[in-house]
Amino acid sequence: MRTRQSHQITRKSAERLLDGSAGSGPEQLVRVLAAATAPGRERELAGEQAAVAAFEANHHLRPAATSRRRKMISSPLPRLITSKAVALSLAAFAGGGVAVAAGTGAFTGPGAVHGGASGGGGVNVAAPPSAGASLHARQGTGAGAGTGSTPRVTHTPSPGTTPAPPPGGPTAPPGTAALCRRLAGEAASAGSSVLTRSGLERALAGGTLPRVLGRPEFASLIIEVRAAVAVPDYCALLLSLPALPQPGDLTQIPRAVLAEILAALPPGTLSQILTGLPTATVAQVLGELPPGTLSRILTELPPSALSAILTRLPEPVLSRILTEIPATTLAQVLTELPAGSLATVLTKLPASALATVLASLPAGALATVLTTLPASALSAVLSTLPAGTAAQILKELPPSVLSGILAEIPSSLLPQLPLG
């Protein structure tokens, strides 16, 4: 009599196997489950974090999907199996799937990089084949080394050209400035980490940069600023270049990152960058900086740059800046402005902000400010203030200064100033 052997296992045995407990079952199934529960090997997990970060930066994936998936996967074994499956899938994508999709434009999203005048289509960040390039860029190891078949060529600037600024200036993850330099070098078809200042500026503004930026080794730059469109300006700031490739996109850089970089720039470079920005951009940038960073930036700018920037700020932003910076900074800023610029700034302020600004000034700075103003602007400032506030401010002045001011303003304004 033949006995038919069943290969089925009971529900209880299956649950024990899935929970990682010892249990009996078909030999092949036991071997597969044992392999799945083993710790992940380095080659299996290589590139996982960098690839996931690149996808998130390019498509702004929401964490809700992750948390929902975690609820669905509760036992240890399915989690391990899923982790290995994801790692293997990402490795396969990095080898060809993602590159094909990016090349055909199958992936689109707010993080896509679009070509310039050359008419190239959207270029998206493919998942890196390994974590080496992007992680080395953040850790400062191997950021300037060539990868793949791209040779690394170093060119010496020709005589008479301005050498590029040394890497590292403003604060950034270690190796990022070197990676930016390499990006510019390859975008310029030079494959060079040493370019002139003007060469770096042209390369970062060139139409080939989006295509080069789509390479896996540059994914960490997009991750750092959360948007591919912000990378050219971010790299220009890190390399202390006075001309930004895309000035209107400066506000795409995360606020905290931008504040840290601007505060670390040399005064000359900072001055050139801020005065070269569109009015709306410089207003948004300065209006969103924390008071401490804003104070440091304003005190480092030369009077000419300070004048050019403050006089074109819209009233709400100007009021916010002048009423929030420390009194010492406010005194330095206002006393350095020439008479015409000072008049433009103060007469633009509403009564409440003007009263706060003048009342915050030390007596010496207040005297300098009021005596610097042309007579017409001085009259406009005093008439804008409430009578009691104007009188209180004037009483802070030395008698000689007060006498000179009262002699300059129209006699019709005197009755409105109850000086007692």
Residue 56 confidence (pLDDT) above 90:
no
pLDDT digits (tens, 9 = 90+) for 242-278: 999 999 889 999 999 999 999 999 999 999 999 999 9
Residue 303 lies in a domain: no
Q: What is the pLDDT of residue 42?
A: 57
**In this predicted structure, which of 16-20, 126-130, 339-343, 350-354 has the lowest mean pLDDT?**
126-130
Residue 194 lies in a domain: yes
Dihedral in degrees, nearest 10, Cα atoms 160, 162, 167, 168 = 150
Residue 37 lies in a domain: no
Q: Burial of 78 by CB count in 10 Å (0-12 exposed, 13-18 middle, 19+ buried)?
A: middle
**What's the 3-state SS for the chain?**
CCCCCCCCCCHHHHHHHHCCCCCCCCHHHHHHHHHHHCCCCHHHHCCHHHHHHHHHHHHCCCHHHHHHHHHHCCCHHHHHHHHHHHHHHHHHHHHHHHHHHHHHCCCCCCCCEECCCCCCCEECCCCCCCCHHHHHHHHCCCCCCCCCCCCCCCCCCCCCCCECCCCCCCCCCCCHHHHHHHHHHHHCCCCCCCCEHHHHHHHHHCCCHHHHHCCHHHHHHHHHHCCHHHHHHHHHHHCCCCCCCCHHHHHHCCHHHHHHHHHHCCHHHHHHHHHCCCHHHHHHHHHHCCHHHHHHHHHHCCHHHHHHHHCCCCHHHHHHHHHHCCHHHHHHHHHHCCHHHHHHHHHHCCHHHHHHHHHHCCHHHHHHHHHHCCHHHHHHHHHHCCHHHHHHHHCCCCHHHHHHHHHHCCHHHHHHCCCC
Q: What is the pLDDT of residue 51?
A: 55
Q: What is the pLDDT of residue 387?
A: 78
Residue 230 lies in a domain: yes
Give the integer Cα–Cα distance in Å for 135 and 253. Answer: 20
Residue 203 lies in a domain: yes
Residue 237 lies in a domain: yes
Q: What is the pLDDT of residue 328?
A: 95
**In this predicted structure, which of 56-60, 68-72, 186-190 has the lowest mean pLDDT?**
68-72
Q: What is the pLDDT of residue 145?
A: 39
**In this predicted structure, which of 8-17, 159-168, 396-405 has the lowest mean pLDDT?**
159-168
Q: What is the pLDDT of residue 37?
A: 63
Higher pLDDT, 73 or 249: 249
pLDDT digits (tens, 9 = 90+) for 148-165: 333 333 333 444 433 444
pLDDT digits (tens, 9 = 90+) for 178-218: 999 999 988 886 444 456 888 898 899 988 999 999 999 99
Residue 202 lies in a domain: yes
> How far, rounded to the nearest angstrom, does the alpha carbon of residue 33 sit from its chain's CA centroid?
45
Residue 343 lies in a domain: no
Q: What is the pLDDT of residue 13?
A: 72
Q: What is the pLDDT of residue 39?
A: 62
Model confidence at 386, pLDDT cuts 50, 70, 90, reads confident
Q: What is the pLDDT of residue 148?
A: 38
Residue 305 confidence (pLDDT) above 90:
yes
Higher pLDDT, 11 or 75: 11
Model confidence at 407, pLDDT cuts 50, 70, 90, reads confident
**In this predicted structure, which of 15-19, 226-230, 282-286, 325-329 has the lowest mean pLDDT?**
15-19
Q: How many domains does the chain have?
A: 1
Nearest of 135, 127, 131 to residue 102 by alpha carbon = 127
Sequence-distant (6+) residues with CB within 8 A of 205 are 232, 245, 246
**In this predicted structure, which of 30-34, 93-97, 352-356 has the lowest mean pLDDT?**
93-97
Residue 367 confidence (pLDDT) above 50:
yes
Check if the beta carbon of residue 253 is closer than 8 Å to that of residue 233: yes
Percent residues over pLDDT 70 in the chain = 58
Partner residues linked to 196 by β-bridges: 163
Check if the beta carbon of residue 342 is closer than 8 Å to that of residue 308: no
Mean pLDDT, the chain, as a whole number? 73
Range 339-359 average pLDDT: 96
Give the integer Cα–Cα distance in Å for 229 and 202. Answer: 16
pLDDT digits (tens, 9 = 90+) for 311-336: 999 999 999 999 999 999 999 999 99
pLDDT digits (tens, 9 = 90+) for 268-300: 999 999 999 999 999 999 999 998 999 999 999
Residue 399 confidence (pLDDT) above 50:
yes
Model confidence at 40, pLDDT cuts 50, 70, 90, reads low
Structural domain including 105 reads 45-145+164-265
